[in-house]
Amino acid sequence: MKLRLSARLIGLFLLFGLGPLVVTSIMINSQAGEALRRVSFEKMVTATHLQSDQIELYFHERRNELTALSLNRVLIQSFDIFHELFHQFVKTNKKIGSPEWVAALDSGLAAWLEKRIALTGYHDLLLIDEDGHVVYSVARESDLGENVQIGNLKESPLGQVFAKARQGLAMQDFMPYAPSKGEFAAFIGAPVLKEGRVVGVVALQLPTEPVDKMLRERAGLGESEEIYMVGKLNGVTSYRSNRSIKEAKIGQKKSDEWIEKALNGESGHAIKTGSTGRRELVSYAPLDLPGLNWAIIGTRDADEAFAEVDNLHRFVWMLGMALAVVVAIVGWLFARSIGRPLSGAVNVITTSATQIAASINEQERIAAQQAASVNQTNTTMDELGASAKQSAEQADSAANGARLALELAQQGMERVEETLGSIEGAKERVAAIAQQILRLSEQTGQIRDITGLVSDFANETKMLAMNAAVEAVRAGEHGKGFSVLAVETRKLADESKRSAGRINGLVGEIQKATNATVMATEEGSKTMEQGILVARRTSEAFQSVAESISSAAESSQQISMNVRQQAVAIRQVVDAMQTINIGAKENASGIAQIKTGIGTLNDAARMLKDLV
């Protein structure tokens, strides 16, 4: 929400006019409030300490009185008389405390003791002999005549103070006491000495009324303020005085953090949450009472205690509001006096700012169109540069492929030359084999001729054998040997002929195989000649391919160099376009800033117009 000049001036007047005053008021208010809080605490602490001093003085006086009383000759004389009377009645089985016993008392001594009790306000005075018998009691309750050392009263406050007082002055805290109708009773005792020997104990039963009367004294206290006593006995914390504002009785359990601190010997003050949920001031301190663990506690409602602080706060805020109204009126009058002259100047500024803004809008539109065109051209050049870069990479890849193909072609040519050499070697070996086969064929022919000669020789031998046989027959007995020789010779000739026939058969087969080998060798020779021709043609083809691949590789390298040069040129163009684009953007940004400034000026003018 926009504020008019008058409102802002009023705010400034309030800020600079009331600011220091508010800060000063807050500081003074805080310090004064803290001082009043301290005063409230100190007032309650002082009241608590005053009550504490009265309580301690009261018990100190009781101790002094009992000490003086235990040394009094009249008391010692009374103790002897009453002790002797007690034992006389016990021996004769007469009742202690009966009218006969009262009549037998020394009326003067009894009257003196009763008067002392009446003057000091004690509830009772008791005389106890060294065996624990209560030989005399002013109040003459049921404890008269009892033995507090071995009887039912051994654990009572009277029995406990008797046990302690035989060693010296002693006090026993409040406890329920049956002879006093179960009311809480506290005792103070002192030894009775005769010729330096303890012959008994004198005990005073302390009433609760004097202490309650002192604590109920409300002079200088607030409406909700009260002071009470607490004590701890046998680990239990309870009241040692009655409370009037918050109902509570002696012996009722009561404990919290501050009570325990006081019973532990600490003193101080704090703010706590009471049993009703309201904040309370609490002051606590221990009581210096020998033989008793007592403390005194003071409480007061925090709202009542800090009422003066709240009143001071309300006064300061009301004063601040009144001053704010006065300053606001002055600011409004001042704003009205300076607002009118500004109105005309603001109208002029508004008109001029509107005209400049229209011109700047037109320039911004043209600059935006230029920036868009440059940006589109830059994008196109980027795409062209990317394409040129890709073409250069592809040309490099093609050149590398051509170089690899050239290397493979050269390797192929080398393999073809090696193959051609191998075929030539094989051809020569085949020719040598053919020569060997021809030579074998000739030798086979020679074997055939020899076999023919052997066959002819066998035939002639056979003929000779036949002739020999004929001659042997002719010779008769003398020719039998020749006949046998002729038979064997004929067999040998037949066998030779058959062997020659078999040799001829084998030679024929060898001749056939040789002829077939010669024919195969001739065919292999022809095939090798054709392989040599094909290998030579393949070598020539590889040579042509290598020359073509070499030419293609040179062309690819040239293309790659040209594409790289184009990419460099495109990159330069792209850089130039980017520079132009940056300039266009800076120009547009400058125009936008001018437009913003004009808009701000226009807004300021309108704001001034609205304010005025």
- Name the percent of the chain lying above pLDDT 70: 71
Mean pLDDT, all residues of the chain: 78
pLDDT, tens digit (0-9, with 9 covering 90-100), for 540-557: 776 776 677 677 667 667
Q: Could you tell me how far CA 186 lies from the centroid of its own chain?
A: 62
Topology given in CATH for the domain delimited by 358-604: Helix Hairpins (1.10.287)
| Contact (Cβ atoms closer than 8 angstroms) between residue 487 and residue 464 | no
Cα 489 to the center of its chain, rounded Å: 130
pTM: 0.48
pLDDT for residue 605: 65
Of 137, 293, 296, whose CA–CA distance to 205 is shortest?
A: 137
Tokens 């690819």 locate to: 556
What SS3 class is residue 507? Answer: helix
Least confident of 178-182, 231-235, 321-325, 471-475: 321-325
Q: How far is CA 34 from CA 29, 31, 454, in A?
A: 8, 5, 164
> If you average pLDDT over residues 580-589, what whole number do you get?
69
Which residues are bridge partners to 229 per DSSP?
296
**Poorest-confidence range of 157-161, 335-339, 561-565?**
335-339
pLDDT at 63: 92
Q: What is the pLDDT of residue 124?
A: 92
Was domain 71-197 assigned CATH 3.30.450.20? yes
**Tally: H helices and E strands in the chain:** 11, 10
pLDDT at residue 16 tops 70:
no
Encode pLDDT of 300-331 as tens digits.
Answer: 888 776 666 566 666 666 766 776 666 667 66
Name residue, tokens 């607002």: 339
- CB-CB contact of 448 with 507 (8 Å): yes
And the tokens for 35?
């001082």
Q: Mean pLDDT, to the nearest integer, of 498-520?
A: 78
Selected residue with higher pLDDT from 409 and 203: 203
pLDDT at residue 397, rounded to an integer: 76
Which band of pLDDT confidence, cut at 50, 70 and 90, is reported for residue 146? very high
Tokens found for residue 227: 């002071």
pLDDT for 492 equals: 80
Q: Which of 30-39, 119-128, 190-199, 573-582 has the lowest mean pLDDT?
A: 30-39
Given phi > 0 = left and psi -120 to 50 = alpha, else beta, which region is 121?
A: left
Q: pLDDT higher for 560 or 137?
A: 137
Residue, of 1 and 224, whose pLDDT is higher = 224
Q: Edge-to-edge strand order for the sheet containing 170-176?
A: 134-137, 124-129, 197-206, 184-194, 170-176
Write a three-state SS string for 421-478. HHHHHHHHHHHHHHHHHHHHHHHHHHHHHHHHHHHHHHHHHHHHHHHHHHHHHHHHHH
Task: For the chain, give every domain's residue range.
Answer: 71-197, 358-604
- How far is the C-alpha of 289 from the C-alpha of 147, rounded, in Å? 28
Exposed/middle/buried for 95, CB within 10 Å: 0-12, 13-18, 19+? exposed
**For 463-488, how does the pLDDT look when each residue is reduced to its tens digit (9 = 90+)?**
877 787 777 777 777 777 777 777 77
Helix (H, G, I), strand (E, B) or coil at 494: helix
Which of 115-119, 477-481, 509-513 bottoms out in mean pLDDT, i.e. has the lowest? 477-481
- Residue 367 confidence (pLDDT): 63
Distance from C-alpha of 515 to C-alpha of 444, rounded to nearest angstrom: 11
